[in-house]
Amino acid sequence: MRKDDHLTNQVKNKVRSKIKNKVKPGYKKKFKQEVEKMKRQERKQFSKQQNRQKRKQNKKG
């Protein structure tokens, strides 16, 4: 199990709703790209939250 598996599962549903149900040539490739893009966004948001929490703790300390 890779460390982003939880992200992948969250993101797949979002991606599937965007892409049409018909399977066309290049669908898997496009799907993979979308998943990677969404993962990057999720990671960015996650790290933003972490940094925000750290900053709050530093101010208190």
What pLDDT, in 10s, does the model give residues 40-53? 999 999 999 999 99
**Which range scores top for mean pLDDT: 7-21, 25-39, 43-57?**
43-57
At 35, list the tokens: 């998943």
pLDDT value of residue 20: 57
Q: Which residues contact 11 (CB under 8 A, 6 or more apart)?
A: 35, 38, 39, 42
Distances (CA, A) of 34 to 1, 7, 8, 20, 29: 21, 13, 11, 13, 9
At 3, list the tokens: 């460390």
pLDDT value of residue 16: 63
